């Protein structure tokens, strides 16, 4: 049966979020067309986002993130219950959302907000955020006012008209979630896309000068035929030493890759293209860099593509015995 999670977006002592979620849950369980469960962030304490890689990569290092991912993955759709804090959603809710990606994507979501004026700004921002995550945000929405829907601004007594709005919201969330469950699953990312995403990861890590992220993008036994001597750089530490030299040379570094052409086999792939490092030197001088030919060779190890070999070169002016460094792709 379709499973809908009712997510409480606040955690502070004395919060009203649990009352609102309970009201949604009580109404929802009268329907019988889906199973409804309250998800309380108090039961899933998460630190400030501490994953080294963006959730988009699906690579979660920490047990708490994997446990949270398992929880969210169980649901086909969501009702998010959010108050308005300083014209936005609570940080704890944003943090919980930011921890994951694929577990949210393509799932239906509806919003129940509350605040002085119904929490409209929080709901609007949450809708934008969920749409960015490619969730299917439904149009019907419930907005509860602290003045008129809470007795003494403390105890939830929602106006009768909110029940109709909640029913409409649940109708749409259940329908879309059920469609999503029975639809053909979205095709898995192709290996070519994974290779291109891997190269985007290399570019991001170089520009962030992040050696730890780079370490995870190469195999431990990578053999690099880099542009500078010696003939080969063997092993991840030697490869990272080269990147560390680049990071010391540039204050700010930009890495561009053009015309990347991946060719992908079952568990071996290669991609060739042109690369250029440029940036600003520590004294502020701009360094334009040169275009090089670059080939990246991958092996799929434990289901993940890693660079096991790379080759970087410039053409040789054979008569002059010098590398040609002023060519443009
Ligand atoms: C830090 C903070 C900021 C708030 N900012 C707003 C606001 O910008 N607009 C609003 O309508 N209500 C605001 N409120 C009032 C909350 O919407 C109201 O207290 C609500 O009950 C909070 O949800 P909770 O009880 O589940 O934590 C704020 C409350 C807090 C604690």
Cβ proximity of 21 and 38 under 8 Å? yes
Are residues 197 and 305 located together in one domain of the fold?
A: yes
**H-helix segments, 250-303:** none
| Pocket test residue of 14, 89, 115 for ligand 1, highest count of atoms within 8 A of CB | 115
Q: In sequence order, what E strands does 99-248 have?
A: 108-115, 136-137, 142-145, 150-151, 155-156, 218-225, 233-234
**299 domain residue, yes or no:** yes
Are residues 174 and 296 located together in one domain of the fold?
A: no
**pLDDT (tens digit, 9 = 90+) per residue, 50-103?**
998 888 888 899 999 999 999 999 999 999 999 999 999 999 999 999 999 999
**66 domain residue, yes or no:** yes
Q: Is the distance from the beta carbon of residue 76 to the nearest atom of ligand 1 less than 6 Å?
A: no
Are residues 69 and 195 located together in one domain of the fold?
A: no
CA of 21 to the centre of ligand 1 (A): 16
**328 domain residue, yes or no:** no
Confidence class for position 146, pLDDT limits 50, 70, 90: very high
Question: What pLDDT was estimated at residue 184?
Answer: 61
Mean pLDDT of the chain: 93
Last residue of a domain, one of 159, 182, 205: 182
> In the structure encoding, which two tokens stand for residue 26, read together?
């009580």
Residue 215 exposure: Cα atoms within 13 Å on the Cβ side? 7
Indicate if the pLDDT at residue 219 is higher than 90: yes
Report the CATH number that the domain containing residue 21 is assigned in CATH: 3.40.50.360
Cβ proximity of 315 and 326 under 8 Å? no
Beta bridge partners of 90: none
Are residues 262 and 163 located together in one domain of the fold?
A: no
Instruction: Choose between 16 and 197: higher pLDDT.
Output: 16
**300 domain residue, yes or no:** yes
CA of 15 to the centre of ligand 1 (A): 9
Distance CA 54, CA 321 (A): 45
Beta bridge partners of 8: 40, 81
Residue nearest to atom 8 of ligand 1 (CA): 86
Cβ proximity of 99 and 133 under 8 Å? no
Are residues 82 and 202 located together in one domain of the fold?
A: no
Question: What pLDDT was estimated at residue 185?
Answer: 55
Q: Is the distance from the beta carbon of residue 84 to the nearest atom of ligand 1 less than 6 Å?
A: yes
| Pocket test residue of 38, 42, 84 for ligand 1, highest count of atoms within 8 A of CB | 84
Report the CATH number that the domain containing residue 219 is assigned in CATH: 3.10.450.50
Residue nearest to atom 19 of ligand 1 (CA): 115
Question: What pLDDT was estimated at residue 328?
Answer: 87
CA of 147 to the centre of ligand 1 (A): 12
Distance CA 19, CA 156 (A): 7
Question: What is the pTM (predicted TM-score) of this model?
Answer: 0.63
**215 domain residue, yes or no:** yes
Query: Which atom of ligand 1 lies at the shortest distance from residue 15's CA?
Result: 25
CA of 115 to the centre of ligand 1 (A): 6
Question: What pLDDT was estimated at residue 53?
Answer: 87
Tell me which residue range forms the domain holding 162.
3-182
Distance CA 254, CA 307 (A): 20
Q: Which residues contact 160 (CB under 8 A, 6 or more apart)?
A: none
Report the 10 Å Cβ neighbour count for 246.
15
Query: Which atom of ligand 1 lies at the shortest distance from residue 88's CA?
Result: 8
Are residues 307 and 241 located together in one domain of the fold?
A: yes
Are residues 312 and 228 located together in one domain of the fold?
A: yes
Confidence class for position 308, pLDDT limits 50, 70, 90: very high
Phi, psi dihedral angles at 42 (to 5 degrees):
-65, -25
Q: Is the distance from the beta carbon of residue 13 to the nearest atom of ligand 1 less than 6 Å?
A: no
**329 domain residue, yes or no:** no
Are residues 235 and 147 located together in one domain of the fold?
A: no
Are residues 161 and 237 located together in one domain of the fold?
A: no
Last residue of a domain, one of 182, 214, 235: 182
Are residues 27 and 166 located together in one domain of the fold?
A: yes
Residue nearest to atom 29 of ligand 1 (CA): 85
Q: Is the distance from the beta carbon of residue 83 to the nearest atom of ligand 1 less than 6 Å?
A: yes
Q: How many domains does the chain have?
A: 2
**pLDDT (tens digit, 9 = 90+) per residue, 259-292?**
888 899 999 999 999 999 999 999 999 998 899 9
Are residues 256 and 165 located together in one domain of the fold?
A: no
Distance CA 166, CA 267 (A): 50
**Helical (H) or strand (E) element with 303:** none
Confidence class for position 191, pLDDT limits 50, 70, 90: confident
Indicate if the pLDDT at residue 187 is higher than 90: no
Question: What pLDDT was estimated at residue 174?
Answer: 96
**pLDDT (tens digit, 9 = 90+) per residue, 16-62?**
999 999 999 999 999 999 999 999 999 999 999 999 888 888 889 99
> In the structure encoding, which two tokens stand for residue 299, read together?
């092996």
HEC string of 196-212 equals HHHHHHHHHHHHCCCHH
Are residues 139 and 275 located together in one domain of the fold?
A: no
Last residue of a domain, one of 136, 161, 182: 182
Cβ proximity of 218 and 307 under 8 Å? yes
Question: What pLDDT was estimated at residue 260?
Answer: 87
* Pairing mode of beta strands 304-313, 218-225: parallel
Percent of the chain with pLDDT over 90: 78
Query: Which atom of ligand 1 lies at the shortest distance from residue 83's CA?
Result: 23
| Pocket test residue of 81, 83, 120 for ligand 1, highest count of atoms within 8 A of CB | 83
Distance CA 213, CA 194 (A): 16
Query: Which atom of ligand 1 lies at the shortest distance from residue 18's CA?
Result: 26
Question: What pLDDT was estimated at residue 80?
Answer: 98
Instruction: Choose between 186 and 211: higher pLDDT.
Output: 211
**162 domain residue, yes or no:** yes
**135 domain residue, yes or no:** yes
CA of 16 to the centre of ligand 1 (A): 10
Indicate if the pLDDT at residue 188 is higher than 60: no
């Amino acid at each position: 049966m379709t499973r809908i999670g009712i997510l409480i977006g606040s955690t502070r002592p004395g919060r009203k979020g649990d009352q609102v979620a309970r009201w949604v849950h009580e109404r929802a369980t009268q329907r019988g067309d889906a199973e409804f469960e309250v998800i309380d962030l108090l039961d899933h304490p998460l630190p400030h986002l501490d994953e080294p890689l963006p959730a988009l990569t699906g690579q979660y290092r920490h047990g708490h993130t994997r446990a949270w991912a398992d929880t969210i993955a169980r649901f086909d759709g969501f009702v998010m219950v959010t108050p308005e804090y300083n014209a936005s959603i609570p940080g704890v809710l944003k943090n919980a959302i930011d921890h994951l990606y694929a577990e949210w994507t393509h799932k239906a979501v509806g919003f129940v907000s509350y605040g002085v004026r119904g929490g409209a700004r929080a709901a609007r921002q949450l809708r934008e955020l969920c749409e960015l995550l490619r969730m299917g945000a439904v149009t019907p929405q419930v907005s509860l006012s602290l003045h008129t829907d809470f007795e003494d601004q403390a105890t939830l007594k929602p106006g009768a008209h909110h029940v109709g709005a909640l029913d409409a919201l649940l109708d749409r969330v259940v329908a879309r979630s059920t469609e999503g469950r029975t639809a053909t699953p979205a095709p898995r990312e192709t290996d070519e896309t994974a290779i291109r995403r891997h190269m985007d990861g290399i570019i991001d890590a170089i520009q962030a000068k992040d050696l730890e992220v780079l370490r995870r993008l190469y195999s431990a036994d990578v053999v690099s035929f880099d542009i500078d001597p010696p003939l080969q750089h063997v092993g991840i530490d030697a490869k990272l030493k080269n990147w560390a030299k680049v990071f010391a040379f540039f204050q700010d570094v930009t890495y561009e890759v053009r015309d990347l052409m991946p060719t992908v086999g079952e568990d071996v792939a290669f991609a060739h293209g042109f690369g250029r490092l440029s940036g600003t030197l520590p004294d502020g001088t701009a360094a334009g860099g040169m275009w090089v030919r670059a080939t990246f060779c991958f092996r799929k190890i434990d289901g993940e593509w890693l660079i096991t070999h790379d080759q970087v070169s410039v053409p040789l002016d054979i008569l002059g015995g010098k590398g040609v460094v002023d060519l443009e792709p």
